[in-house]
Amino acid sequence: MVNSAVNIIADIGGTNMRVAQTNEQDAIFNVEIYACADYVGLAEVLSDFITRHQLQGKQISACLAIACPVDKDLIAMTNLPWQFSQQKLKVQLRLHELVLINDFTAIAHAIPQLDNSQKIQVGTGHVIADKPISICGPGTGLGVANLVALNHGWLSLSGEGGHVDFAPIDQQEIKILNFLLTKYNHVSYEQLLSGLGLEQIYQALSFIQNGVASELTAKEITTKGLAKTCELCAETIAQFCRVLGSFAGNLALTLGSYGGVYIAGGIVPRFIEYFESSDFRARFEAKGRMSGFNQPIATFVVTEEQPGLMGAAAYLKQLNTVEKH
């Protein structure tokens, strides 16, 4: 890469957008955080970044991780009134290269780059190099991605795994499912494993115990539950961890994820100590006659604060390496 070449990476969410530069040594620098509501569109944010860091006239390659489908030229963001054409954006900003990837594709590509300070192992198990990796992330929704090794790099297999059918495995979960079926025609794992999911588990347990579906916010539930000032909130968090264990275990069974199963997203890192002592790992392994299949598979929580930027940088570097060869 010549001296005039510049790599820009971005992680675009519904509320904030993080933009940075990266170099051949994989260093991420000049990180800027933009409030999306302050801008009319993506072009204005990137133009500001380019101007702020005096990158005009340089050969710019950009990799943007965005929380919506990216398989068409016209991009319409799910949680923002932003629409743009990929081709027009590239021309408008005079970019040498523009690559858009799904936000969970970016998180997936960050996983092989993590060191022990950026993740915490939960339970036993070990990682086998170059074996498939699964990632799920409870947050606003439930993101899912998988990674497989390919030609000395990584291929992300994305989809909508968070929307598979919720499968209860005990009487309490059956009752939770029955409660949610009064609200939805289809109950997916995302209806339990997300911020809204925490609230809905609490509503269901309240209805089961008291006949009234009381409501609290996800923040109120976690605060009271972790402080043990509300028994129902504490049980809600415990139930969340159990369901997440079952779901993560299903991913491991489906892909044979001997490279590890990773929990990303914004929820679990808020209560890692609790999570480590929860029933998550027991549920991950509790697969009947296939329990022995999951027992040696390692599980981790991602604690890196900028996995989207890290993954976008890794994706762009791998893409440039492939193009050179």
pLDDT, tens digit (0-9, with 9 covering 90-100), for 162-180:
999 999 999 999 999 999 9
Model confidence at 194: pLDDT above 90: yes
Burial category of 53 from C-beta neighbours within 10 Å (exposed 0-12, middle 13-18, buried 19 and up): middle
Helix (H) or strand (E) holding 33: strand 28-35
The token pair that represents 320 in the structure block:
């440039």
Residues of CATH 3.30.420.40 domain(s) within the chain? Answer: 5-103
Alpha-carbon gap, residue 36 to 34, rounded angstroms:
6
Alpha-carbon gap, residue 119 to 122, rounded angstroms:
10
Model confidence at 325: pLDDT above 60: no
Per DSSP, the residues of 283-306 read HHH--GGGHHHHTTB-EEEE--S-
The token pair that represents 217 in the structure block:
């916010």
Residues of CATH 3.40.367.20 domain(s) within the chain? Answer: 119-303
Cβ contacts of 136 within 8 Å, gap of 6 or more: 142, 143, 144, 161, 162, 193, 244, 247, 248, 251, 261, 262, 263, 264, 265
Residue 54 identity (one-letter amino acid): Q
Q: How confident is the model at residue 2 (pLDDT cuts 50, 70, 90)?
A: very low
- pLDDT more than 70, % of the chain: 98
Segments of 210-303 assigned E as strands: 261-263, 299-302
Mean pLDDT score across all residues of the chain: 93
Fold of 119-303: Hexokinase; domain 1 (3.40.367)
CATH number of 5-103: 3.30.420.40
Model confidence at 110: pLDDT above 90: yes
Number of CB atoms found within 10 A of residue 293's CB? 15
Average pLDDT rounded to a whole number, residues 271-298: 97
Backbone phi, psi, residue 209, to 5°? -85, -40
Average pLDDT rounded to a whole number, residues 45-63: 95
| Res 23: pLDDT | 85
